[in-house]
């Protein structure tokens, strides 16, 4: 195989381009608290600062350690921001101050820290992401047990569940990882000497988390994760610089996954080799365009994923070349493969995959497992490979050969008198094409022999004898053989490629259609029903969607509607909900039940399960090939859609809580002002009457009593408004509809408002207005609030006009004043509770509830209310009510 000039890997170049403009991230990684991560970070920062670097300490936790505090030296430290929480004040990192200061390097301790409520971000690593996006380089510290993917392992080892975690992607995208490590014995001595925790805390830690075995396991995790990171750096450098591997910097095992029963055995052998070498494992499947559609590596690829291997699938016609290019690109040093069962001819010609790799893999160690050994490995490991179903038994493939040739012969007899004898060979060539396309190359080869024999014996002169007597016969034999061999080599592959392409096109269309339906689902229930419907179309058997409720899977949607797992199958559902892999029918976990369950996974964990009743497809049934992969792809789309729906619901709840909090604060502020003012006036008037009553003139006493009465009326109105807004918020307002003469109601309300304010209200109403089905009490309250608002905010001698008229299918009521008007940008807010237009210190008193009550009552009666301002010369406001006739 000739070597072509290598080019940089596009993905590596894109990754490098994505880091341009972002601040660098350096992580000081440790196995446990007390190993000296912060001490090392501060020491390196002081050296850089002495060299003139602009370094600022955003936040460093010394935990009372004198040596760590001394390391701060003269470094600039940002002040912390105080955040109240549950009656206490918590000092947190000031993100805004760091962005404003914008140092070259910012030190930020404890990457996994959870910020106090009220902070911009929930986690400190999110603060780091914003700092990096602003172009600031960040140095930070973290312990290996805080990695999200290791939290379960750490809990099993130490018995302590780590609550604060960091996504693995944050560490993977760090520009530098420095391991800070000390021996376990030294760390334990530091703990006993009080250099990590206070003596009372240290005693408890020594009995729990800080055991020697725990620390050794955590050290191994930290060392392994750092080694993996260094290995990724080396591989990334090679790929971005087009360096042909492998580099002998570290071991990496590549397992070649085929579609036969030995694939699982190859995986188990490769896993053991990788564990022995402490090396990462990569599982590679090369899909060839001409491969039969029955070749399905899905089970082996799922097993590889469960082994925490890096799974890769590539499409290539030249299998050895694709394997070697992938191995060099990923810096693999060990290649594990199964020998398979190649034909004797391929072995004699040296055309087997193992032979080709031996010729080209001079830089690799090649491990070839005999087929029997590979199958034995799979059996000993307990790998269960679901049985494949064939439409026909194998022997029928060979029976079809003489049948197809016989059909071609019958057609040739029919055309014998119409077509020259040489032309009848095309009929037999068509039979060879059909056999190569539909069945296989070996059957087509047999068909070619039988077809030529039948053509020669029955139709070529002399008939009924197998003779080649002329140059024309020789040419016919040569052409027929050449065309047949050419068809054998191309038609089968072409037919299988077309079939596979058609299947993939169908799967792609189904995937796009599913994505559109999932995106268009309105609610969570609709989303689950769409998922069940799409899964049922793909699987061809009953399905149901289960969601967790108090730790138990509960069916939420099913197709058909009565499809529900039995009690035995629910045990498999509980296992999947608590584990990470599919279980049930067709798997190696609880395979005896009727249902198979697949997890619906997101970055936040399992959000649900999909159940498939495979028992309805027959014994040992399993989804194959494209259907299995399509169903997994639909589950991935559904997971994103479900997570999006849950996030939207969570955001709506947060928004509702925020709005409730805003209303509560506004209500408290309003109570503090609008209740205190009338109460103060009433109390002052009564105290004056009580202490100086006999000495006051009758006019003064009358004024005081009138003032107290007015403040009492004002207070009563305010409390009534609060009760009304509460009733509206609780949807307790039920209009009692009856025919209302709007003109009469408007004139009566305007007359009452004019008497109360001492100012006239002009009313104009179109004659013969039809009666409207409204609640007369609620309408009177709305009109009174509108007129009171207009009289209050209009000029002292200004005019207020109320009008009623018919506009098409609506009855329109307007209340207009010539006051200062409402700023256009505040028109959309005037109907919100407790909102008041800012007018300065001399603005009339009010609670900001009147117009909110008007909107609520109007909408309860089926109408709508709008505001228009300014009207003329930058002044005036018009409030418009519209009720359908």
Q: Percentage of residues in the chain with pLDDT exceeding 70?
A: 73
Is 233 among the domain residues?
yes
Task: Determine the Cα–Cα distance for residues 607 and 663; give it in Å rounded to an integer.
Answer: 34
pLDDT given at position 236 = 59
**Among 587, 594, 591, 619, which residue's Cα sits nearest to residue 264?**
587
Based on the domain organization, do 747 and 791 belong to the same domain? yes
Sign, CA dihedral 179-185-191-195, equals negative
The pLDDT score that the predictor gives to residue 137 is 92
Tell whether 513 is covered by a domain.
no
**521/531 Cα distance (integer angstroms):** 10
Structure tokens at 83: 């955040």
Last residue of a domain, one of 335, 350, 381: 381
Same domain, 413 and 469: yes
Judged against a pLDDT cut of 70, whether residue 625 lies above it is answered with: no
Residues 339 and 409 in one domain: no
Range of lowest pLDDT (171-175, 744-748, 799-803): 171-175
List, in sequence order, the alpha helices (H) in 165-310: 168-172, 184-192, 199-207, 212-240, 263-277, 298-306
**Residues linked to residue 213 through DSSP beta bridges, in sequence order:** none
Q: What is the model's pLDDT at position 847?
A: 58
Rounded-to-integer distance, Cα 545 and Cα 554, Å: 8
Q: What is the mean pLDDT of residues 771-786?
A: 84
Q: Kindly report, residue by residue over 217-229, the tens digit of the pLDDT.
A: 788 788 777 777 7
Residue 713 domain-assigned (yes or no): no
Are residues 154 and 221 part of one domain?
yes
CB neighbourhood size of 858 (10 A): 22
Other beta carbons less than 10 A from residue 33's beta carbon: 18
Place of tokens 């200004």: 798
Answer yes or no: is pLDDT of 304 > 60. yes
> Domain boundary at 333, 358, 381, which?
381
pLDDT band at 767 (very low <50, low <70, confident <90, very high): low
Q: Are residues 433 and 579 in the same domain?
A: no
Three-state DSSP at 845 gives coil
Rg of the chain (C-alpha set): 41
Q: Is 97 left (phi over 0), alpha (psi -120 to 50) or beta?
A: alpha
Do 418 and 443 form a contact (C-beta atoms < 8 A)?
no
Compare 338 and 230 and report the one with higher pLDDT.
338
First CA to last CA distance, the chain: 86
> For residue 618, what pLDDT is reported?
63
pLDDT at 176: 86
List the CATH number of the domain containing 790: 3.30.565.10
pLDDT number for residue 525:
77
pLDDT digits (tens, 9 = 90+) for 258-294: 876 678 888 888 888 888 787 888 888 887 765 554 4
* The domain boundary residue, chosen from 381, 404, 422: 381
Tell me, yes or no, whether 428 lies in a domain: yes
The two tokens of residue 348 are: 């004699």
On whether both 775 and 870 belong to a single domain, the answer is: yes
pLDDT value at position 376?
A: 54
Structure tokens at 551: 């730790």
Same domain, 326 and 353: yes
SS3 of 408-456 = HHHHHHHHCCCCCCCCHHHHHHHHHHHHHHHCCHHHHHHHHHHHHHHHH
SS3 282: strand
- Domain span at 281: 253-381
Q: What is the pLDDT of residues 452-487, one digit of tens each?
A: 788 778 887 777 777 766 666 677 667 666 766 666
Number of separate domains in the chain: 5
Write the pLDDT tens digit of every residue in 856-880.
888 888 888 888 888 887 788 888 9
Is residue 52 situated within a structural domain?
yes
Considering 195-199, 204-208, 848-852, the range whose residues carry the highest mean pLDDT is 848-852
Which residue, chain included where needed, has tokens 């510290």?
A: 141
- How confident is the model at residue 843, as a pLDDT? 47
pLDDT at 12: 53
Q: pLDDT value at position 169?
A: 81
* Residue 563, domain member (yes or no): yes
Q: What are phi and psi of 63, to 5 degrees?
A: 55, 35
Q: pLDDT tens digits, residue range 342-377?
A: 666 666 666 677 778 877 766 778 888 876 555 555
CATH number, domain of 276, equals: 3.40.50.620
Question: Which pLDDT tens digit goes with each residue over 164-187?
Answer: 888 888 888 888 888 888 887 787
Task: Round to whole Å and give the CA distance between 445 and 435.
Answer: 9
User: Mapping DSSP to helix (H, G, I), strand (E, B) and coil, where does residue 405 land?
Assistant: helix
Clarify whether residues 328 and 406 are in a common domain.
no
pLDDT at 54 (0 to 100): 92
Question: Counting Cβ atoms within 10 Å, is residue 4 exposed (0-12), middle (13-18) or buried (19+)?
Answer: exposed
Peptide bond into 462 cis (omega under 30): yes
Token readout for 141 is 């510290």
What local confidence, expressed as pLDDT, does residue 15 receive? Answer: 56
Do 458 and 555 reside in the same domain of the chain?
no
pLDDT score recorded for residue 391 = 46
Q: Say yes or no: 835 and 755 in one domain.
A: yes
> Whole-angstrom Cα distance, residue 514 to residue 834?
46
Mean predicted lDDT score pLDDT of the chain: 77
* Percentage above 90 pLDDT, the chain: 4
Name the pLDDT band for 9 (thresholds 50, 70, 90): low
- CA dist., res. 93 & res. 100, Å (int): 13
Residues 207 and 355 in one domain: no
The pLDDT assigned to 422 comes to 67
Q: What Å distances lie between residue 595 and 297, 389, 577, 579, 598, CA to CA?
A: 22, 18, 14, 17, 10
138 confidence band (pLDDT: 50, 70, 90): very high
Phi, psi of 765 (to 5 degrees): -140, 135
Q: Is 647 in a helix, a strand, or coil?
A: helix
532-566: per-residue pLDDT in tens? 888 888 888 899 999 888 778 888 888 888 888 88
17 in any annotated domain: yes
pLDDT mean over 402-414: 87
- For the chain, give the number of residues: 885
pLDDT tens figures, 640-657: 888 888 778 777 777 777
Q: Residue 18: its pLDDT value, please?
A: 56
**Predicted pLDDT of residue 388:** 43
Write down the pLDDT at residue 28: 92
pLDDT digits (tens, 9 = 90+) for 39-85: 889 989 999 888 889 999 999 888 777 787 888 888 898 998 888 77
Q: Is residue 664 part of a domain?
A: no
**Residue scoring higher pLDDT (769 or 439):** 769
399 and 357 share one domain: no
CATH code where residue 614 lies: 3.30.450.40
């Amino acid at each position: 195989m000739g070597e072509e000039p290598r080019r940089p890997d596009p993905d590596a170049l894109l990754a490098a381009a994505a880091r341009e403009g972002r601040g660098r991230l350096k992580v000081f990684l440790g196995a446990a608290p007390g190993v000296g991560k912060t001490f090392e970070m501060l020491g390196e920062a002081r050296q850089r600062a002495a060299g003139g670097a602009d370094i600022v300490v955003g936040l460093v936790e010394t935990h009372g350690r004198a040596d760590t505090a001394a390391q701060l030296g003269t470094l600039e430290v940002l002040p912390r921001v105080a955040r109240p929480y549950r009656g206490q004040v918590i000092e947190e990192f000031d993100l805004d101050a760091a962005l404003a200061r914008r140092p070259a390097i910012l030190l930020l301790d404890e990457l996994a820290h959870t910020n106090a409520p009220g902070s911009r971000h929930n986690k400190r690593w999110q603060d780091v992401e914003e700092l990096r996006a602003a172009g600031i380089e960040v140095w930070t510290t973290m312990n290996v047990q805080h990695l999200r993917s290791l939290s379960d392992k750490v809990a099993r080892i130490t018995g302590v569940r780590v609550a604060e975690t960091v996504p693995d992607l944050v560490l993977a995208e760090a520009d530098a990882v420095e391991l800070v490590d000390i021996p376990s014995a030294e760390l334990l001595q530091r703990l006993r000497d009080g250099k990590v925790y206070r003596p009372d805390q240290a005693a408890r830690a020594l009995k729990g988390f800080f055991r020697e075995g725990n620390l050794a396991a955590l050290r191994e995790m930290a060392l392994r994760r750092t080694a993996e990171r260094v290995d990724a750096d080396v591989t990334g450098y090679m790929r971005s610089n087009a360096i042909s591997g492998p580099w002998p910097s570290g071991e990496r095992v590549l397992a070649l996954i085929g579609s036969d029963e030995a694939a699982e055995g190859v995986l188990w052998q490769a896993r053991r080799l990788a564990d022995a070498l402490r090396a990462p494992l990569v599982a590679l499947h090369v899909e060839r365009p001409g491969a039969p559609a029955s070749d399905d590596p899905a089970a082996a690829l799922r097993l590889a994923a469960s082994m925490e291997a890096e799974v890769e699938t590539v499409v290539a016609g030249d299998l050895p070349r694709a394997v070697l290019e992938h191995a060099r690109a990923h810096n693999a040093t060990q290649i594990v493969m199964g020998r398979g069962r190649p034909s004797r001819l391929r072995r004699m010609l040296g055309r087997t995959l193992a032979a080709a790799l031996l010729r080209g893999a001079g830089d690799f160690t090649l491990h070839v497992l005999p087929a029997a050994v590979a199958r034995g490995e799979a059996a000993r490991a307990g790998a269960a490979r679901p049985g494949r179903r064939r439409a026909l038994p194998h022997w029928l493939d060979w029976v079809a050969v003489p049948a197809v040739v016989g059909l071609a012969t019958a057609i040739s007899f029919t055309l014998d008198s119409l077509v020259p004898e040489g032309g009848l060979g095309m009929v037999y060539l068509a039979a060879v094409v059909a056999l190569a396309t539909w069945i296989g190359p070996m059957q087509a080869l047999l068909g070619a022999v039988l077809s030529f024999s039948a053509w020669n014996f029955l139709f070529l002169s002399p008939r009924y004898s197998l003779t080649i007597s002329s140059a024309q016969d020789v040419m016919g034999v040569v052409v027929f053989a050449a065309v047949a061999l050419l068809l054998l080599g191309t038609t089968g592959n072409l037919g299988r490629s077309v079939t596979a392409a058609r299947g993939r096109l169908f799967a792609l269309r189904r995937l796009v259609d599913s994505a559109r339906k999932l995106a268009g689902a309105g609610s969570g229930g609709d989303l689950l029903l769409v998922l069940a419907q799409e899964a049922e179309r793909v699987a061809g058997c009953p399905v149901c969607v289960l969601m967790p409720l108090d730790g138990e899977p509960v069916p939420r949607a099913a197709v058909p509607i009565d499809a529900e797992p039995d009690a035995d199958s629910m045990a498999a559902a509980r296992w999947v909900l608590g584990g990470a892999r599919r279980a049930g029918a067709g798997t190696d976990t609880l395979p005896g039940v009727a249902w198979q369950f697949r997890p619906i996974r997101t970055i936040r964990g399992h959000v649900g399960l999909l159940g498939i009743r495979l028992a309805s497809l027959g014994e040992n049934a399993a989804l194959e090939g494209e259907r299995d992969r399509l169903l997994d792809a639909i589950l991935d789309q559904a997971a994103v859609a479900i997570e999006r729906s849950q996030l939207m619901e969570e955001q709506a709840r947060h928004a509702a809580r925020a709005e409730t909090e805003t209303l509560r604060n506004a209500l408290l502020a309003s109570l503090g002002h609008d209740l205190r003012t009338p109460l103060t006036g009433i109390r002052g008037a009564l105290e004056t009457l009580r202490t100086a009553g006999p000495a006051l003139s009758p006019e003064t006493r009358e004024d005081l009593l009138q003032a107290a009465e007015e403040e009492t009326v004002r207070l009563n109105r305010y409390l009534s408004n609060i009760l009304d807004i509460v009733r509206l918020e609780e949807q307790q307002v039920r209009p009692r509809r009856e025919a209302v003469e709007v003109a009469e109601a408007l004139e009566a309300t305007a007359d009452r408002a004019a008497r109360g304010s001492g100012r006239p209200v002009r009313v104009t109403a179109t004659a013969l207005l039809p009666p409207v089905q409204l609640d007369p009490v609620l309408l009177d309250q709305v009109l009174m609030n509108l007129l009171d608002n207009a009289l209050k905010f209009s000029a002292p001698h200004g005019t207020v006009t109320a009008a009623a008229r018919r506009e098409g299918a609506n009855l329109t009521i307007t209340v207009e004043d010539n006051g200062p008007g409402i700023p256009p940008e505040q028109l959309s807010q005037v109907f919100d509770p407790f909102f008041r237009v800012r007018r300065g210190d001399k603005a009339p008193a009010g609670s900001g509830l009147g117009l909110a009550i008007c909107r609520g009552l109007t909408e309860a009666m089926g109408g709508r209310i709008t505001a228009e301002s300014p009207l003329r010369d930058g002044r005036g406001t018009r409030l418009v009510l519209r009720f359908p006739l």
